[in-house]
A and B are shown apart, each in its own frame.
Chain A
Amino acid sequence: MPLRIRDYGEAHLRTDDDLFYFLQCATVATPKEPAWGDRAAEEGYALDRFVEYLRYLERDEWFTIRPTSPVGTRWTGKVRQAGREWDIELVLKDAYPHIPPACRIPELMHYTDRKVDDGVLGLRICDMHMERNYWWDGHSSIAMYLKREVSYWVQSVVKDMRGKGWL
């Protein structure tokens, strides 16, 4: 069982929002550090809890995702919205978790300009609106990023596409 935030004991991380309570990771380690194994396990745990929450409480499992690299730095899967499905790719760079993951949804990105250059993926989804209300820190997880950035990005792009009659 990976270490949980309540065991870790950091006062500033406790919150009354139960969802985010269990989506955070206790270990802060980059993929090159020895403690990455613990962190990768915690990321998987947080994703499992998030999927359970979506499946049973919100009844809207809008994504499926699985790791494609043995160490868990590359993830691939599908996102669903409005009855349609698109591929998604997530990359955790060597500086992760000090920087957020980079996410690519190529088929949707084709129809919008809400994308920015990225050194590894070429283009990734734009999360610049998070700059002003910046919340990412070393304990934030892929699950939190999916919830707070990817979900809104997909919703807004699909809304734009519907408005233009492309969907």
Chain B
Amino acid sequence: MAVTERYARLRLFGHADLSRLAAKRVAIVGVGGLGALSAEILARLGVGELVLFDFDTVEEANLNRLVFRTDQVGQRKVEAIRDHLAAANPDVKITSHPHDVTDGPGLEALTAEVPRCDLVLGCVDTFAVRLFLNAKCVAWRVPFIDGGASEDGVNGSVHVVLPGKTACYRCNRPALSDESAMRPTKREDRGACHFTSLPTTMAVVASLQCQEALKVLLGFGKVAPFLQYFGLEGRLERVDWKRDPRCPACGRRR
């Protein structure tokens, strides 16, 4: 960390040496409501390099959340946030990949970048991609911190996966491959495929995600395998999940 006033308040942090973040490389998959804020928090903390993945463009409906501006509507999210992060902290190296991580150039970039990263933050919006990222991070032994908000916008959760140590994203879900759970339910009458999203909940989840990221990267405090935030009641719950020995992703000694 350069000896400048920018990091003066960070140098006073007593639980860990935050200047070590300058040597760390963090990948953020999904730069939407959650990922953009996590990226800004990590940039302002002085993380050395951020690798961003998102194929989407900024839309007007995204502006109810933090970071993106009205004049950025129509730009790719990874390009729009690059300027914002550079303005926040020019010391951070930003690498952008405006591709889908599950296909073609995006998957190649993910395979090339993530094994060299110290941490992956998952800020995507589909369960399928979360499971996919989880499987990849467990295989490559890279810590993975997944964050999400609930469909009604008031709850949020953060799941920390330390491969080999804590429960992965696939653990402890007994019904996931269960045929009886797979009876198709008549939910086709549900309307538009978007969920409500509050900047308050997103900010809380992003902050919790980055706090756990700090603990994982610098090795201080007690990492919480799972945190759940309840906005309606103002409650935060921690669950110390253990690994499932029969987990298809991380069981049988992966």
Instruction: Check A-B contact in the complex, CB < 8 A.
Output: yes
Q: Which residues of A contact B (CB under 8 A)?
A: 12-13, 15-17, 20, 93-95, 98-100, 113-120, 126, 128-129, 131-137, 147-148, 152-153, 155-156
Size of interface on B: residues with Cβ below 8 Å to A: 34
The answer on a CB contact under 8 Å between A20 and B193 is no
Q: What CA separation (Å) do A152 and B178 show in the bound complex?
A: 21
A82 to chain B, nearest CB (A): 15
The interface centre, meaning the residue of B55, B179, B181, B190 with most chain A CB atoms within 10 A of its CB, is: B179
Q: What CA separation (Å) do A121 and B157 show in the bound complex?
A: 30
In the complex, given contacts A93-B104, A99-B129, A120-B100, what are 7 additional A-B residue pairs having Cβ atoms less than 8 angstroms apart?
A: A12-B177, A119-B99, A119-B102, A119-B106, A129-B193, A135-B182, A137-B248
Instruction: Let me know if B188 is at the binding interface, CB within 8 A.
Output: yes
- Kindly list chain B residues whose C-beta atoms are within 8 Å of the C-beta of A93: 100, 102-104, 107
The answer on a CB contact under 8 Å between A114 and B193 is yes
Q: Of residues 98 to 117 in B, which have CB atoms within 8 Å of A's CB atoms?
A: 99-104, 106-107
The answer on a CB contact under 8 Å between A13 and B185 is no
Q: What CA separation (Å) do A120 and B129 show in the bound complex?
A: 14
The answer on a CB contact under 8 Å between B103 and A148 is no
Interface of A is mostly: loop
The answer on a CB contact under 8 Å between A135 and B181 is yes
Instruction: Let me know if B7 is at the binding interface, CB within 8 A.
Output: no
A120 to chain B, nearest CB (A): 5
Q: List 22 A-B contacts (CB under 8 A).
A: A20-B182, A93-B100, A93-B103, A94-B102, A95-B103, A95-B132, A98-B128, A99-B128, A100-B128, A113-B193, A119-B99, A129-B188, A133-B182, A133-B185, A134-B128, A135-B176, A135-B177, A136-B128, A137-B177, A148-B184, A152-B184, A155-B188
The interface centre, meaning the residue of A113, A134, A155, A156 with most chain B CB atoms within 10 A of its CB, is: A134
- Kindly list chain B residues whose C-beta atoms are within 8 Å of the C-beta of A135: 176-177, 181-182
Chain A residue nearest in CB terms to B170: A137
Q: What CA separation (Å) do A113 and B178 show in the bound complex?
A: 31
- Kindly list chain B residues whose C-beta atoms are within 8 Å of the C-beta of A117: 55-56
- Kindly list chain B residues whose C-beta atoms are within 8 Å of the C-beta of A147: 184
Instruction: Let me know if B192 is at the binding interface, CB within 8 A.
Output: yes
The answer on a CB contact under 8 Å between A129 and B100 is no
The answer on a CB contact under 8 Å between A94 and B103 is yes
The interface centre, meaning the residue of B176, B182, B184, B192 with most chain A CB atoms within 10 A of its CB, is: B182
Q: Of residues 22 to 48 in B, which have CB atoms within 8 Å of A's CB atoms?
A: none
- Kindly list chain B residues whose C-beta atoms are within 8 Å of the C-beta of A95: 101-103, 107, 132
Instruction: Let me know if B252 is at the binding interface, CB within 8 A.
Output: no
The 6 closest A-B CB pairs, nearest first, are: A119-B100, A126-B193, A119-B55, A93-B103, A156-B188, A15-B179
Q: What CA separation (Å) do A12 and B101 show in the bound complex?
A: 29
Q: What CA separation (Å) do A117 and B55 show in the bound complex?
A: 9
The answer on a CB contact under 8 Å between B179 and A17 is yes
Chain B residue nearest in CB terms to A136: B128
- Kindly list chain A residues whose C-beta atoms are within 8 Å of the C-beta of B15: none
The answer on a CB contact under 8 Å between A115 and B193 is yes
A69 to chain B, nearest CB (A): 13
Pick the contact of A94: B56, B104, B129, B184 (CB < 8 A). Answer: B104
Q: What CA separation (Å) do A136 and B102 show in the bound complex?
A: 15
Q: What CA separation (Å) do A155 and B188 show in the bound complex?
A: 8
Known interface pairs A98-B135, A134-B176. Does A120 touch B128 (Cβ–Cβ under 8 Å)? no
Known interface pairs A98-B135, A152-B188. Does A134 touch B127 (Cβ–Cβ under 8 Å)? yes
- Kindly list chain B residues whose C-beta atoms are within 8 Å of the C-beta of A156: 188-189
- Kindly list chain A residues whose C-beta atoms are within 8 Å of the C-beta of B129: 99
Q: What CA separation (Å) do A126 and B188 show in the bound complex?
A: 10
Q: What CA separation (Å) do A156 and B248 show in the bound complex?
A: 34
- Kindly list chain B residues whose C-beta atoms are within 8 Å of the C-beta of A15: 179
